[in-house]
């Protein structure tokens, strides 16, 4: 079944210069393998489209049941030069929660 | 007989209050609020915010304008700090710095987040005094999508919802998509 990422995870996002950092944390540790399988760097890059000019890096943190993403060239130059309302990438976490993922029946 | 009658009245009273959320919450300005304030109001308006959400912060002037336009018409207006990990003193300073003109409630157990089903900041909820959610969504369409916004809003969704409720009519769009920062739920 298809479901939004918000079904199994929560997120937190912020900035370092022009790079947005998104932490994706499984609400239940049994869902970490689903995160690792479904939320790839390529899918995250595709999800944000034109908002992210650079590459997306993924870091795995199985001991925390979490993934960490760095989205490069994602903040219009960064907080000190960007005219965006959200120059710190605070809304990126919420945006990622709408990513559609595939859940097996046993995982739902 | 008298005991049975009294017990029945208590049960009925309990039933009547079953849907009414009971809470006592402090605000960032030093006040205390209880669900009893909701009784007799025409509507309750909750603005869910977090201190570090730039989209929510950009809406504070419009939240104040909506408060000024509707509070005298029987709408009880509150903001709700939806993030539970921010120290109370920081929320108090934030309320002063951003000049909230109405109470900014501290909701450490997310009672109002749960009641409204709020997921994002900023997000507005219009409730009836018995706690029924009549509207949940964006304040207006100024922020169109993630990374996209207009200079000025063209659809005042929240004001439309409030006008409908005050006119005793159903809200035409009771749910709209909110763009902003995710609310992290606390385990209940």
DSSP string, B4-64: HHHHHHHHHHHHHTTTS---EEEBTTS-EEEGGGGTT-SEEEEEEE-TT-HHHHHTHHHHH
> Which of A12, A87, A91 is nearest residue B179 as measured by Cβ atoms?
A91
Residue contacts between A and B (CB atoms, under 8 Å)? 45
Residues in chain B with CB shorter than 8 Å from the CB of A12 are: 182, 184
Average pLDDT over residues A16-39: 96
pLDDT for A83: 82
> Which of A6, A87, A91 is nearest residue B181 as measured by Cβ atoms?
A91
Dump pLDDT digits (tens) for A46-104: 999 999 999 999 999 999 999 999 999 999 998 888 888 888 999 999 999 999 999 98
Average pLDDT over residues B51-55: 95
Longest dimension (CA), chain A: 47
**Which of the residues A86, A87, A99 would you substitute to probe the B interface, choosing the one with the greatest number of B C-beta atoms within 10 Å?**
A86
Closest residue in A to B182 (Cα) is: A94
pLDDT for B35: 92
Dump pLDDT digits (tens) for B102-135: 999 999 999 999 999 999 999 999 999 999 999 9
Kindly indicate the confidence band of residue B185, based on its pLDDT and cuts at 50, 70 and 90: confident
Average pLDDT over residues B58-68: 98
Residues in chain B with CB shorter than 8 Å from the CB of A85 are: 54-55, 58, 143, 149
Question: Could you give the domains of chain A?
Answer: 2-107 (3.30.70)
CB contact under 8 A, B185 and A10: yes
pLDDT for B147: 84
Q: Which positions ≥6 away from B48 have C-beta within 8 Å? A: B56, B79, B80, B82, B112, B113, B116, B118, B120, B121, B122, B123, B124, B125, B183
ipTM for the predicted complex comes to 0.83
Q: Which residue has the higher pLDDT, B45 or A104?
A: B45
Other beta carbons within 10 Å of B170: 10
CB contact under 8 A, A94 and B181: yes
In DSSP terms, B79 is beta-bridged to B47, B104
Question: Could you give the domains of chain B?
Answer: 22-181 (3.40.30.10)
pLDDT for B1: 39
With a cut of 90, say whether residue B148 has pLDDT above it. no
With a cut of 50, say whether residue A40 has pLDDT above it. yes
CB contact under 8 A, A12 and B119: no
Kindly indicate the confidence band of residue B19, based on its pLDDT and cuts at 50, 70 and 90: low
B53-72 burial: b if 16+ Cβ within 10 Å, else e: bbbbbbbbebbbebbeebee
Question: Phi/psi of residue B43, each to 5°?
Answer: -160, 160
């Amino acid at each position: 079944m298809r479901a939004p990422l918000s079904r199994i995870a929560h997120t937190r996002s912020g900035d370092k210069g022009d790079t947005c950092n998104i932490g994706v944390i499984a609400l239940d540790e049994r869902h970490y393998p689903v995160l690792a399988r479904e939320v790839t760097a390529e899918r995250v890059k595709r999800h944000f489209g034109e908002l992210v000019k650079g590459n997306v890096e993924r870091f795995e943190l199985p001991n925390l049941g979490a993934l960490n993403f760095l989205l490069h060239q994602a903040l219009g130059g960064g907080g000190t030069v960007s005219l965006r309302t959200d120059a710190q990438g605070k809304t990126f976490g919420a945006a990622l929660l709408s990513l559609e993922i595939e859940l097996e029946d046993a995982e739902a | 007989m008298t005991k049975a009658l009294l017990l029945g009245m208590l049960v009925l009273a309990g039933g009547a209050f079953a849907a009414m959320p009971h809470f006592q919450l402090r605000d960032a300005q030093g006040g205390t609020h209880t669900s009893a304030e909701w009784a007799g109001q025409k509507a309750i308006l909750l603005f869910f915010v977090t201190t570090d959400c730039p989209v929510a912060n950009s809406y504070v002037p419009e939240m104040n304008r909506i408060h000024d336009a509707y509070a005298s018409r029987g709408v009880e207006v509150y903001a709700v700090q939806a993030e539970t990990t921010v120290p109370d003193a920081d929320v108090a300073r934030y309320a002063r710095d951003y000049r909230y003109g109405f109470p900014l409630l501290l909701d450490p157990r997310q009672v109002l987040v749960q009641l409204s089903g709020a997921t994002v900041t900023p997000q507005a909820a219009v409730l009836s005094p018995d706690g029924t959610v009549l509207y949940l969504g964006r304040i207006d369409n100024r922020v169109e999508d993630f990374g996209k916004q207009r200079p000025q809003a063209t659809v005042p969704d929240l004001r439309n919802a409030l006008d409908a409720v005050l006119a005793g009519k159903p809200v035409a769009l009771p749910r709209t998509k909110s763009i902003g920062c995710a609310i992290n739920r606390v385990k209940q």
